[in-house]
Amino acid sequence: MRRILRVISAHVRVNLQQDLAYRVDTLVNIATMMAWLGYDLASIAVLFGSAQNINGWLAGDIIVLLGVFRMLNTLMMSIVWPNTELFNRGIREGTLDYVFVMPVNSQALISIRRIQVWQVVNVFVAAALILAGIATSGTPVSLGEAVSFLVLMVSGAALIYALWIVLISLTFWFTKFDNNVSLLQALIDTGRWPASVYPMWMRLLVTFVVPIAVATTVPVQALRGELSPLEAVGYFAVGVAGFGLASLVWRAGSRRYSGASS
């Protein structure tokens, strides 16, 4: 564990230096992110200008959901997308060999080779949105609901990360599987809104096939007191099980990798 932490720390430093080397690009990215935030908030204002709620969700609840979505999107933008590109290129060019000769866990290393450190700004923005949404809704939040919310948000993000690991691991069996996260990328924006606003087929897709709703809608449901303790434990267990299954799939796939020379 100590070795993994040292490796993560080293990669964060290297990636931070890389981001700082292109300061203007980083500032433009942050400005773009804030512009999208303004667009999202304007959309919510327009929607609730003529309606008091959407399928029982108040404006404050939607703002909390937007904060959770941005937390998840930070994971995607800072780790998933950059490292997917590196992974696919490594498969094609054979540079993935270097990952497997390192004396550290290959799954961990493949997840942190490229980190967009500037995305940490989005974490603070997302946290501010969550707090603002809770204040706007005016509904008291108990300690148990708050803890359930935080735990399910983490386990939901772990489930999405696990799905990503499974998708890129499929490349070990299907070498020409360059579009390995296309479905995930196509559906990620559905997390901006409650799963209940979608038709049943879409709701089933984003809950059971590509579990975006488990990472976004479910934690907010816990915060709203809509989940029983058993349901909360069940969703948490799904996240833990998904993470464990992804590690098994990664190990099985990596054993099939024979290197660039084959």
Is residue 261 over pLDDT 60? no
Q: If DSSP codes are grouped into helix, strand and coil, which group holds residue 256? A: coil
Backbone φ and ψ for 57, nearest 5 degrees, come out as -95, 125
pLDDT of residue 155: 94
Is residue 240 over pLDDT 70? yes
Q: How confident is the model at residue 148 (pLDDT cuts 50, 70, 90)?
A: very high
Is residue 167 over pLDDT 80? yes
Q: How confident is the model at residue 175 (pLDDT cuts 50, 70, 90)?
A: low
10 Å Cβ neighbour count for 21?
Answer: 9
Backbone φ and ψ for 113, nearest 5 degrees, come out as -60, -35
Average pLDDT over residues 213-225: 93
1-10, 142-151, 173-182, 194-203: the lowest-pLDDT one: 1-10
Contact 215, 163 (CB under 8 A): no
- Go through the chain and tell me how many residues it has: 262
Tokens representing 220 are 């907010």
pLDDT tens for residues 100-121?
877 778 888 888 888 888 888 8
pLDDT of residue 107: 87
Is residue 94 over pLDDT 80? no
Is residue 260 over pLDDT 70? no
Q: How confident is the model at residue 173 (pLDDT cuts 50, 70, 90)?
A: confident
pLDDT of residue 4: 65
Is residue 35 over pLDDT 80? yes
Is residue 67 over pLDDT 90? yes
Which of 62, 80, 19 shows the shortest CA–CA distance to 223? 62
Of residues 148 and 96, the one with the higher pLDDT is 148
Q: What is the CA radius of gyration of the chain?
A: 19
Is residue 83 over pLDDT 60? yes
Is residue 18 over pLDDT 80? no
Gap between the Cα atoms of 255 and 238, Å rounded: 26
pLDDT of residue 7: 66
Average pLDDT over residues 127-149: 91
Is residue 241 over pLDDT 90? yes
Tokens representing 85 are 């590109």
Tokens representing 235 are 């969703």
